[in-house]
Amino acid sequence: MAKLRSIAPIFPTADMERMQRHYEKLGFVVRRHQENYATASRDGLNLHFKLTPDHVAATGGGAVYVSVDNADDLHSEWVAAGVGLTDDLFDPGFGVWEAAHTDGDGNLIRFGSAVAAQPRP
């Protein structure tokens, strides 16, 4: 049986330049492959972006969940980046400390780490 190795969601973006600036501020390395396609990479995670000029953020975009080693640290980093919207951290009640980040195209990255791994004040 074949082994799955990774997953890379393909998000819509109405503006490649804006998307690139946004994700670089979040610590990703963005590579433009064509005028209508790009990838953003960080820590082995890859997000793909397809230029969709008529995409409207209010209609929503794609979504992905990312397991991280420390949700507090990533949350602080992304809030400090000052781009998009990073929600407050919360415990949804099933052992994960998580938050979500939404970019200018309405794409959502929900991230979290195990509650046991997070020192609570």
Residue 118 amino acid letter: Q
Set out the domains of the chain in order of their start, with CATH numbers.
10-53+61-117 (3.10.180.10)
29-34 and 37-42 strand pairing: antiparallel
- Per-residue pLDDT tens for 51-98? 999 998 888 899 999 999 999 999 999 999 999 999 999 999 889 999
Round to whole Å and give the CA distance between 10 and 20.
14
Q: What is the dihedral of CA 21, 22, 23, 27, to 10 degrees?
A: 90
Q: What is the largest CA-CA distance in the chain?
A: 47
The answer to whether 96 touches 113, Cβ cutoff 8 Å, is yes
User: Is 19 a residue whose pLDDT tops 90?
Assistant: yes
The answer to whether 19 touches 105, Cβ cutoff 8 Å, is yes
Over the chain, what is the mean pLDDT?
A: 93
- DSSP 3-state of 116: helix
pLDDT for res 60:
87
Span 6-26, mean pLDDT? 97
Span 36-54, mean pLDDT? 97
pLDDT for res 66:
96
User: Is 104 a residue whose pLDDT tops 60?
Assistant: yes
- DSSP 3-state of 68: coil
